[in-house]
Amino acid sequence: MRLAVGKAVVAAPRPDLLERLAVQTAKRSGDHLLRRLRTIDRADGPWLDVGNGRLLSFCSNDYLGLAQHPQLVAALTRAAREHGVGSTSAHLICGHRAEHAELEEALAVWTGRERALLFSTGYMANLGVLQALLARGDICVQDKLNHACLLDGAKLSGAELKRYPHADVEAATRQLAASPDAAALLATDGVFSMDGDVAPLRELAALCARERATLLVDDAHGLGVLGEHGAGSVSAADLGQHEVPLLMATLGKALGCMGAFVAGPAALIEGLIQFARPYIYTTAMPPALAAAALEAVQLAQVEGWRREKLFALIARFRRGATELGLPLAVSASAIQPLLLGSADAALAAAQALERHGLLVSAIRPPTVPPGQARLRITLSAAHEEAHVDRLLGALETLRLPTAHQATPGDHV
């Protein structure tokens, strides 16, 4: 910007980016929305040692209780002794090891797809898929409650991003029909990360078939938990590769490891190897971690009792929360939100639970819209009935608002 002073033109001072960021951070702090790191000293199942205290956690994604399983630890240790810690390279150079190939094959078989491709994180996987497939002039139709990485991927691709109200198939239909000549991709979470409900996958698949749109399902919170043998929300909806050609899921939640994968037709995977920049230009995940994830994939399928126990705990919590009149969202998954409305109320409730020895996340704007702050309770097969009862007992003492209907909004 330039300012005229008399006959001279004087350049206004260039804005300082770090100062601007500091102002934005200060505003967030003043609004009581500042995010803070918490260092965990040691994890023992659902128990966390923090400083001089010990907290019972209800905020991890370890849905099947596999993160500390001795077979995973042993597999990781064996592979680390053989290969060391890092893969030392991107997959396409010399970082792709036998452990990666075995894991990809197992993931493809488990999910009923021709092939699978590993990514270092779920965020990178979605960025890679959307950037590789979409281009300027295309449209990407998404649920308003989709994870941030799906929204970011669409924006980075150059395609037109259209967002429909949560789970509203009719609105998605109108958005696709409005651009009949454009190549189209419809993306949705399988299980929504903040609300815990499941997308109307069969209806969305039928819509995509009618409109010749490609369907992408992010099943980060469904894999391992839902479906036959834990194959995820797409499996639970009885949909295959033809109906859902793009399936993304993570290895760091129900499988207790780290990383992600995309599964689908062989032509898709070959194309991603050629054009997905987050895959091409990133060091491969450690082969030892891939070995541990392979062990987790096998355990998740054969140890069905973990899912049975998890859903029994979910039912116990929901029954107790309903009896207490707590503001419980509609969710049958391991994610059980209590909708409190204001950010201050959610933070106060989380702090009160911590004084009871319980760690529960207060989810506040901008992660959820203003007025939709909540306690995001997550359950795990590592929990016991007594743990759930302890949580319910503590919640009963908090005098939380009475139950009300949640109103979905934008999650970022």
Tell me what the mean pLDDT of segment 4-29 comes to: 86
411 is in an annotated binding site: no
Active site residue 157: no
Q: Using the 8-state DSSP alphabet, how is residue 264 labeled?
A: E
> Annotated catalytic, 32?
no
Give the Cα separation of 370 and 162 in Å (integer). Answer: 22
Q: Is 314's pLDDT higher than 50? A: yes
- What percent of the chain shows pLDDT beyond 90? 91
* pLDDT band per the 50, 70, 90 thresholds, residue 4: low
Contact 227, 235 (CB under 8 A): yes
Whether the predicted pLDDT of 409 surpasses 70: no
Active-site choice (69, 83, 96, 221): 221
Ligand-binding site membership of 383 (annotated): no
Determine the pLDDT at residue 3: 62
Contact partners, residue 167, CB within 8 Å, separation at least 6: 143, 197, 199, 200, 408
**Between 404 and 228, whose confidence is greater?**
228
Q: What is the pLDDT of residues 189-219, one digit of tens each?
A: 999 999 999 999 999 999 999 999 999 999 9
Q: Does residue 405 carry a pLDDT above 60?
A: no
Residue 217 phi, psi dihedral angles, 5° rounding:
-115, 125
The SS3 call for residue 48 is strand
Which pTM does this prediction carry?
A: 0.93
Backbone φ and ψ for 118, nearest 5 degrees, come out as -80, 140
221 catalytic? Reply is yes
All domains of the chain in start order, with CATH: 34-64+304-396 (3.90.1150.10), 70-302 (3.40.640.10)
Q: Exactly one of 162, 166, 253, 411 is catalytic; which is it?
A: 253
Instruction: Report whether 367 belongs to an annotated binding site.
Output: yes
Tens of pLDDT, residues 330-362: 999 999 999 999 999 999 999 999 999 999 999
Residue 407 has pLDDT above 50, yes or no: no
